[in-house]
Amino acid sequence: MSATTTVTQSESANNILRLFPEINTQLAAQTQNSATQDDDLAGYDEEQIRLMDEVCIVLDDNDVPIGSASKKICHLMENINKGLLHRAFSVFLFDSQDRLLLQQRASEKITFPDLWTNTCCSHPLGIPTETGATLPAAIEGVKRAAQRKLQQELGINPAQVPIEKFDFLTRIHYKAPSDGKWGEHEIDYILFIKADVDLDINPNEVRDSKYVAAQELKDMFKDSSLKFTPWFKLICESMLFEWWEHLNGGLEKYKGETEIRRM
């Protein structure tokens, strides 16, 4: 009886796929090979393993989507070293006193645990509302993703960070190892937002947070006991402090850059 049921299901599935060729079978295949059953992730935090099943947007070098793959596949250094590249974003949230909100990544994180970084760093998902083939569509997608992740990581109510308040500045293309197994290879969209927000931090994502003025952040970089994510250091060393100086006037000339900065 069991064997008959299996055959019937297979015939049904094949019939559905013949009738509806537009069905994307990738998600079903990925579910069958979930990260929760993956030896590469044995011993890591259960919730962080689950998040490795999220689907990232795979890109060519010009930021054009060519498909999607799991977060786990995109962050293995063996794949990164073969050229696998995905889309990401970095949010810089400033309060009404022009202080930047930093977070220290949780110890449970699989990549770059315990490192200090900007307010929120993550990936738009390979779904219609967050994927975009043109730059304007991609910007809208990463803004929606930023709003989603600010809530998931820091408990920020989306009403406090409306989509229209995010400013897109530029994109950076960089590659950085986390350890021997994991790393990043991203085209990272830089988003600024100025808002006073209430925090309800998710300890599985964020170990600590603090607001800093520009000089306080520069002093943090001088403290050898503190470690920072590579993308945050790149942005700070090249562009952040100049942007920060123009936060309340003159930022317009830095917004909407169309060229990708190769780091």
Task: Indicate which residue of 121, 130, 205, 236 is catalytic.
Answer: 121
Task: Indicate which residue of 130, 140, 184, 186 is catalytic.
Answer: 186
Q: How far lies 263's CA from each of 22, 80, 85, 133, 178, in Å?
A: 38, 15, 14, 22, 17
Question: Which residues of the chain are modeled with pLDDT < 50?
Answer: 1-8
Q: Is 216 a catalytic residue?
A: no
Q: Which has the closest alpha carbon to 40: 85, 68, 79, 67?
A: 79
Q: Is 252 a catalytic residue?
A: no
Q: Are 178 and 184 in contact (CB under 8 A)?
A: yes
CATH topology of domain 2-262: Nucleoside Triphosphate Pyrophosphohydrolase (3.90.79)
Q: Which residue has the tokens 């408990």?
A: 155
Tell me how crowded residue 26 is: count the other CB atoms within 10 A of its CB.
Answer: 14
Q: Which residue has the tokens 């603090």?
A: 210
